[in-house]
Amino acid sequence: MSDTFEGEAAIVTGASRGIGSGIATELAERGASVVVNYRSSEDRAEAVVDEIRDDGGEAVAVQADVSDEDDVAAMVEATVDRYGSLDVMVNNAGMTTLGPAEEIDLDDWRRVIDVDLTGVFIGCQAAGRQMLSQPDGGSIVNVASMMGEMGFHMRAPYCAAKAGVINLTRTLAVEWATEDVTVNALAPGFIKTDITDQTQGSAGYTDDDIRRRTPMARYGTVQEMANCVGFLARGDTYVTGEVLRADGGWTSDAWRYHENRA
């Protein structure tokens, strides 16, 4: 059983920062040629590409709004034109908005759903069409969240979107199971990124809160999430339609808050 992606091409959406950049780097280190997708942060995307190339890998930055069907179709076409196939699609791009449900503006709700759920469907559909036409199929990994399986204060649009991603993943896995196209999801818990640092204050939690609520008593890391995607993206595991929770034990813990953890 190989853990490399030599000779394969991968798209990682929202790959200019955070978990997405870690996934792109990991797949490149394992031999994949990687399309680093971004919507507006070209400089950051090019920095990820430069890092991959400096380490001997192959990557290119491609702009596309994941909620735009034409943009995503063009990105898939460009990937196939450049590398000859699309073997791995990681639908990672996402966003959130915070606030009491009764106060959330409908435009904010729609934008989260457009990016976090509809964008994942568009990515799956475009990748699926290509993979279904290939002799060796391919692998799709959707980045969901543990928040897609439970309620979280102040995050109604995000929780709803990620719940949709989870069941979309299962549905597409069933539809494409006989066509050598696997579809799985990663459901991260709280992962330490620059985005976490920017939002945790407004979200109403501290680092100590996360340590006390997580059985492993820490945040997850970007590298750990990239390792999970590396597993789910392989086509030789007999795994499809699964949701891999990488949350440090959060969703398994009935006790939930550990006062003795500093």
**Domains in the chain: ranges and CATH:** 9-234 (3.40.50.720)
pLDDT tens digits along 25-55: 999 999 999 999 999 999 999 999 999 999 9
Known catalytic residues are 158
CA distances from 114 to 104, 118, 122 (A): 15, 5, 10
| pLDDT beneath 50, residues of the chain | 1
* H helix runs in 35-68, sequence order: 42-54
CB 53 within 8 A of CB 60: no
* pLDDT for res 148: 97
pLDDT at 1: 40
Closest CA to 242 of 156, 148, 142, 149: 142
Q: What is the pLDDT of residue 196?
A: 76
Q: What is the pLDDT of residue 2?
A: 57
Helix (H) or strand (E) holding 59: strand 58-63
- What sign has the CA pseudo-torsion 205, 208, 212, 218? positive
